[in-house]
Chain A
Amino acid sequence: MKRLPVFFLAILTAIVIGTAVGAGSLLADKVLDKAVDNSTGSELVIYGAVDRETIKSVFSAFLERHPQIALKYREFNSLDLYQYFLEHPDERPDLMLSSAMDLQFKLVNDGYAQRYSSEHTDRLPTRSKWRDELFGYAVEPIVIAINTDLLAGAPLPQSREQLLALIRNKDHLLDEKIGLPDIKSTGIGYLTWSYDSQLSRTYERLLEAFGIHHSRLYSDTRSMLRALTRGEIFIAYNALGSYTQAWSQEHPWIVPVLPTDYTTIVLRTAFIPKASRNPAEAKTFLDFLLSDIGQQLLTEHSSLIPVSGGPGNDSGSPTLFGASHSLLRPIPLGLELLLQTDTAKRQLLFDEWDSAMPHLSK
């Protein structure tokens, strides 16, 4: 009874707002200034592709412990972060946080990161760090978010196969009602989509289905979820699991699905650039982020899933990994990621994408 009005409302909103949101908004240049500063105070500049709301609790807990540090956080879209880092060699931050593993990895492989090891980094499992330069601090399952209003009694699809069946079933109902991250403008979108292309047997059919139904593109998960709530779309493919999980708690008719054929797992990573002006503060923060307290804050006050299964971390990745181990496919933090950054490969993928979605190139 309740689902129907929301569904219509969603369609309505979608028509009104249209593709305006789809263009992808740049979230950079919002500097978080904390009122601190005694004269001896030091500075810590963090660039990140992490939602400010998400990481806020960690920042404030850190600042409570280190009141002499003035923390400046600048938020970017993950691809912009990468490009900004390369294009502004004089403005390198002290710490880089991003969920676009491939771009982070490329920067580290190209020698922009400095080595660091401490008891906290040593605790990380080997698959969660590289060369003591790049450190995973949270894991992120990639999910399909579905507005259950769409189902109308039909069972929730559990795999990509079932998603395709659902799309086939609903057919025109889903025209322009499927949301995807824009692989050309978002780092994480490209990363997950290219991983799908390597791994999935359903990739071609998905691409075809997404093209036929004139899918919409979004610059990040949050805007995709907003569109989902508004009824602008019914299905959001490759959404970040943590945000979706949090979102569905407020909006119970939005349900995250961890596809049972495989669920991609992305690492949120951090590294300290060689050009960091405050490496000591950056290391302090990194240690705090990886410490039990930092990881616990990630779990409790944000929807992020901590990377380390340390003591007191019963929720988060251990449970997630323990639940259905076989279906989880963590993107390996290693040289394989270079493939994702290859321009020729990128172009091939874009070509396929463009030819499948002619409605976008207009």
Chain B
Amino acid sequence: MTRANPSIRRQLLWMTLLVLIVINGFVAWSANLYANRAARLSYDRLLLGSVLQIAENINSLDGNIVIDLPRSAFETLAMAPSDRAFYSIIGPDQHVLSGYTDLPDIPFDDLDQVRDQGGQITPFFYNGVYRGEEVRFLGVNKQLIDSNSSSDIYIVVGQTLSARQELAKETNWFVLRFVMLFFAVTLLLLMFGIWRVLRPLQRLRKAIDERSALELKPLILPVPKEITPLVNAINRSNTQLNSTLERLKRFTSEAAHQIRTPLAGLSSQAQNALDEKDETQRQQQLSHIVECSNLLRETVNQLLNQATLAHRFQSQPLKSISLDRLTKEVCRDLVVWALQKGVEIEYSGKVEVEIDGDDFALKQMIRNIIENAVNYSSRQSVVEVSLHVEHGKSRDEVVLRVKDQGIGVSDEEKQHIFERFYRSPNSQQPGTGIGLAIAKEVAEHHHASFRLRDNTPRGLIVEVVFPPVEVTAS
């Protein structure tokens, strides 16, 4: 469940965590680098201090080299409290004058290269392994100038690395602790931030939860800009739902009324027939009852049809349908029935049209229109059904046209005949008044619209105008 619906909160958390880990990892890494460098620099400086103090106390006296090591040089070295230290003072012939005689790999060439010029001593650092431990060495070359000669003295001081490592570790640990604190604090702040950002969503959910099932008033909530469209969409769908519900309510009450009235009529007529003594009168009354009940059945059928259509519209996806084939089928179905009424149905389609639609619903619509045309025509007349394309100004339209020569519909009635249960008062035909209402709903579902015109000399032209689609001339 949660896998299918990833939580925004969790995703945000993971992202921030990832970013934080990357940032903090980088900081920790550079802290390590920095700590090592700082430790190396500071202890190198001590080493240098010690070497300089030693160098200062080596002098040439009457051709003799006098080495008087200062205590301070060793005190400086002792600032690394648990490191071993080694030193060597080497004469011009690379003969050790004092200190350790076996220091490894003294780079005399390098020391000669950095030889001091004008009293300036340049240090040369190098690492080596001595007596089983890694040692940081510092060598200098000092020139002793006597009255008539000068000679090169080499001073090498080395110290093991544990104090450096300790300092680096300490610095590193210090920074790491800071980084961890920073990590925790930022994570907390971010979590708080995420909670704050997501709070409107929570509020929205709560607001929806708290509404009763039938409350469809628009939600009015202070929400961030990003969520406003969501609220708008919810409100829009609610409005639609509301109007549908309204329509359904109206429909139910109208339907109930429409069924109740004929039922009451039926029952009183049946009562009359029971009481009627005269046989022919009773026969008449009974046949009237049959007529009425037929009409009632028709009404119920239409209502059920409409309900079926409403259901189909919601559940059935639109399929590609050949409109011309569908129209021909309906004509074929109705032609015999029409002939019994003395009406001829003519189909004159010139195009093949494919539209996305619901075939059952479309058939229903076309059937209702043609039935009307037949029903409200006099005998010996023709109903023309045609399908063609009209080239409009901006776009092409597919038009389904049903033309009859019947009684027609007056102009003020034209706006009413699509209303449910509306029937023209001067129509002699039995009917329920639902047919065109259904047809209109179907048309709307297919984004089509109705056009009504008067036929000459008499009759009605009903046109269904479909939005432009791909058309092949046949």
Interface residues of A (CB under 8 A from B): 109-111, 126, 130-131, 198, 332, 334-339, 342-345, 348
**Are A335 and B71 in touch, CB under 8 angstroms?**
no
Known contacts A111-B131, A335-B74, A336-B71: A342-B99 contact under CB 8 Å: yes
Q: 5 closest Cβ contacts across the A-B interface?
A: A344-B98, A344-B67, A111-B131, A335-B78, A334-B78
**Are B69 and A345 in touch, CB under 8 angstroms?**
yes
Which residues of the other chain, B, contact A345 by a CB distance below 8 angstroms?
67-69, 98
Which residues of the other chain, B, contact A332 by a CB distance below 8 angstroms?
78
B46 to nearest A CB, angstroms? 11
Known contacts A332-B78, A344-B89: A339-B69 contact under CB 8 Å: yes
Which residues of the other chain, B, contact A336 by a CB distance below 8 angstroms?
71, 74-75, 78
Q: Would you call B288 an interface residue if the criterion is a C-beta within 8 Å of the partner chain's C-beta atoms?
A: no
Residue of B nearest to A274 (CB): B132
Bound state CA distance, A109 and B133, in angstroms? Answer: 11
Q: Given A131-B82, A335-B75, list of 17 further CB < 8 A pairs?
A: A110-B131, A111-B84, A111-B132, A131-B84, A336-B71, A336-B74, A337-B74, A338-B77, A338-B87, A339-B71, A339-B73, A339-B74, A342-B67, A342-B98, A342-B99, A343-B98, A345-B68
Bound state CA distance, A337 and B77, in angstroms? Answer: 11
Number of residues on chain B facing chain A (CB within 8 A): 24
**Are B82 and A130 in touch, CB under 8 angstroms?**
yes
Residue of B nearest to A131 (CB): B82
Q: Would you call B176 an interface residue if the criterion is a C-beta within 8 Å of the partner chain's C-beta atoms?
A: no
* 19 A–B pairs (Cβ distance < 8 Å), ordered by A: A109-B86, A110-B131, A111-B84, A111-B133, A130-B82, A335-B74, A335-B78, A338-B87, A339-B71, A342-B69, A342-B98, A343-B98, A344-B67, A344-B89, A344-B97, A345-B67, A345-B68, A345-B69, A345-B98
Q: Would you call B85 an interface residue if the criterion is a C-beta within 8 Å of the partner chain's C-beta atoms?
A: yes
Q: Which of B30-81 contact A (CB under 8 A)?
A: 66-69, 71, 73-75, 77-78, 81
Bound state CA distance, A339 and B71, in angstroms? Answer: 7
**Are B98 and A109 in touch, CB under 8 angstroms?**
no
B190 to nearest A CB, angstroms? 45
Contact partner of A334 (CB less than 8 A), chosen from B67, B81, B99, is: B81
Known contacts A110-B131, A111-B84: A344-B68 contact under CB 8 Å: yes
Bound state CA distance, A131 and B133, in angstroms? Answer: 14
**Are A338 and B75 in touch, CB under 8 angstroms?**
no
Bound state CA distance, A166 and B67, in angstroms? Answer: 36
B95 to nearest A CB, angstroms? 13
Known contacts A344-B67, A344-B97, A348-B68: A109-B85 contact under CB 8 Å: yes
Bound state CA distance, A335 and B80, in angstroms? Answer: 9
Residue of B nearest to A332 (CB): B78
Bound state CA distance, A223 and B84, in angstroms? Answer: 36
Bound state CA distance, A57 and B69, in angstroms? Answer: 42
Bound state CA distance, A336 and B79, in angstroms? Answer: 10
Residue of A nearest to B77 (CB): A335
Contact with A along B119-163 (1 / 0, CB 8 A): 000000000000111000000000000000000000000000000
Which residues of the other chain, B, contact A131 by a CB distance below 8 angstroms?
82, 84
B306 to nearest A CB, angstroms? 97
Which residues of the other chain, A, contact B73 by a CB distance below 8 angstroms?
339
Contact with A along B78-109 (1 / 0, CB 8 A): 10011111110100000001110000000000
B130 to nearest A CB, angstroms? 9
B101 to nearest A CB, angstroms? 10
Bound state CA distance, A126 and B133, in angstroms? Answer: 23
Which residues of the other chain, A, contact B86 by a CB distance below 8 angstroms?
109
Bound state CA distance, A75 and B271, in angstroms? Answer: 147
